[in-house]
Amino acid sequence: MSKSGDRYVDHTMFDMVQSLTIADSLKFGKAVLNKLGKINKLHKNQVEQAGFAVLKAPDIPSILVETAFISNVEEERKLKTATFQQEVAESILAGIKAYFADGATLARRG
Protein backbone atom coordinates (compact mmCIF):
# COMPACT_ATOMS: atom_id res chain seq x y z
CA MET A 1 0.00 0.00 0.00
CA SER A 2 1.18 3.51 -0.72
CA LYS A 3 1.90 6.10 1.94
CA SER A 4 -1.12 8.26 1.14
CA GLY A 5 -3.35 5.50 -0.13
CA ASP A 6 -3.30 7.07 -3.60
CA ARG A 7 -0.50 5.96 -5.90
CA TYR A 8 -0.88 9.07 -8.09
CA VAL A 9 -0.44 11.37 -5.12
CA ASP A 10 2.55 9.32 -3.98
CA HIS A 11 4.10 9.48 -7.44
CA THR A 12 3.58 13.25 -7.60
CA MET A 13 5.07 13.74 -4.15
CA PHE A 14 8.05 11.55 -5.05
CA ASP A 15 8.66 13.61 -8.21
CA MET A 16 8.47 16.86 -6.25
CA VAL A 17 10.95 15.64 -3.64
CA GLN A 18 13.29 14.31 -6.31
CA SER A 19 13.18 17.61 -8.24
CA LEU A 20 14.08 19.53 -5.09
CA THR A 21 16.88 17.07 -4.35
CA ILE A 22 18.34 17.46 -7.85
CA ALA A 23 18.29 21.25 -7.47
CA ASP A 24 19.98 20.94 -4.07
CA SER A 25 22.58 18.55 -5.49
CA LEU A 26 23.45 21.02 -8.25
CA LYS A 27 23.75 23.84 -5.72
CA PHE A 28 25.90 21.59 -3.50
CA GLY A 29 28.09 20.65 -6.46
CA LYS A 30 28.56 24.31 -7.44
CA ALA A 31 29.70 25.18 -3.92
CA VAL A 32 32.32 22.41 -3.93
CA LEU A 33 33.40 23.08 -7.53
CA ASN A 34 33.91 26.75 -6.71
CA LYS A 35 36.30 25.84 -3.88
CA LEU A 36 38.15 23.19 -5.89
CA GLY A 37 38.65 25.70 -8.70
CA LYS A 38 40.76 27.78 -6.35
CA ILE A 39 43.38 25.04 -5.93
CA ASN A 40 43.36 23.25 -9.28
CA LYS A 41 42.58 23.93 -12.92
CA LEU A 42 39.03 22.84 -13.66
CA HIS A 43 38.41 20.82 -16.80
CA LYS A 44 34.81 22.02 -16.78
CA ASN A 45 33.52 25.12 -15.04
CA GLN A 46 30.05 23.79 -14.37
CA VAL A 47 28.43 20.94 -12.52
CA GLU A 48 27.24 18.06 -14.65
CA GLN A 49 24.46 15.59 -13.95
CA ALA A 50 24.83 11.84 -14.31
CA GLY A 51 22.71 8.84 -13.49
CA PHE A 52 25.17 7.01 -11.26
CA ALA A 53 23.46 4.70 -8.78
CA VAL A 54 25.28 6.34 -5.86
CA LEU A 55 23.66 9.67 -6.80
CA LYS A 56 20.10 8.41 -7.00
CA ALA A 57 18.72 8.87 -3.47
CA PRO A 58 15.42 10.70 -4.06
CA ASP A 59 15.62 12.81 -0.90
CA ILE A 60 19.33 13.30 -0.15
CA PRO A 61 21.42 15.79 -2.13
CA SER A 62 24.57 14.07 -3.36
CA ILE A 63 27.62 14.80 -5.48
CA LEU A 64 30.47 12.85 -7.03
CA VAL A 65 33.76 14.76 -6.88
CA GLU A 66 36.48 14.36 -9.49
CA THR A 67 39.59 15.82 -7.90
CA ALA A 68 42.03 15.25 -10.77
CA PHE A 69 42.78 12.81 -13.55
CA ILE A 70 45.51 10.20 -13.16
CA SER A 71 45.69 10.02 -16.95
CA ASN A 72 47.13 13.56 -16.83
CA VAL A 73 50.81 13.37 -15.84
CA GLU A 74 50.82 16.73 -14.03
CA GLU A 75 47.63 15.97 -12.11
CA GLU A 76 48.87 12.49 -11.21
CA ARG A 77 52.04 14.04 -9.80
CA LYS A 78 50.00 16.49 -7.72
CA LEU A 79 47.67 13.76 -6.47
CA LYS A 80 50.64 11.87 -5.04
CA THR A 81 51.60 14.75 -2.73
CA ALA A 82 50.26 15.06 0.79
CA THR A 83 50.05 18.82 0.34
CA PHE A 84 47.69 18.59 -2.63
CA GLN A 85 45.65 15.85 -0.97
CA GLN A 86 45.20 18.14 2.04
CA GLU A 87 44.24 21.07 -0.20
CA VAL A 88 41.64 18.94 -1.97
CA ALA A 89 40.17 17.73 1.33
CA GLU A 90 40.04 21.27 2.71
CA SER A 91 38.44 22.57 -0.49
CA ILE A 92 35.74 19.92 -0.37
CA LEU A 93 35.10 20.73 3.29
CA ALA A 94 34.94 24.45 2.48
CA GLY A 95 32.40 23.70 -0.26
CA ILE A 96 30.28 21.66 2.15
CA LYS A 97 30.38 24.47 4.69
CA ALA A 98 29.47 27.04 2.02
CA TYR A 99 26.53 24.91 0.91
CA PHE A 100 25.11 24.73 4.44
CA ALA A 101 25.95 28.36 5.23
CA ASP A 102 23.82 29.36 2.26
CA GLY A 103 20.74 27.84 3.93
CA ALA A 104 20.75 24.40 2.36
CA THR A 105 17.35 22.75 2.17
CA LEU A 106 18.62 19.62 3.89
CA ALA A 107 19.61 21.68 6.92
CA ARG A 108 16.06 23.03 7.13
CA ARG A 109 14.55 19.54 6.87
CA GLY A 110 16.48 18.35 9.84
The pTM for the full model equals 0.78
pLDDT band at 85 (very low <50, low <70, confident <90, very high): very high
Name residue 81's amino acid: T
Name residue 29's amino acid: G
Cβ–Cβ < 8 Å for 61, 31: no
Q: Whole-angstrom Cα distance, residue 107 to residue 104?
A: 5
The predicted-structure confidence for 14-30, as pLDDT tens digits, reads as follows 778 777 888 888 999 99
3-state secondary structure of 77: helix
Reference 83, options 71, 91, 95; nearest CA is: 91
What pLDDT is recorded for position 78?
Answer: 95
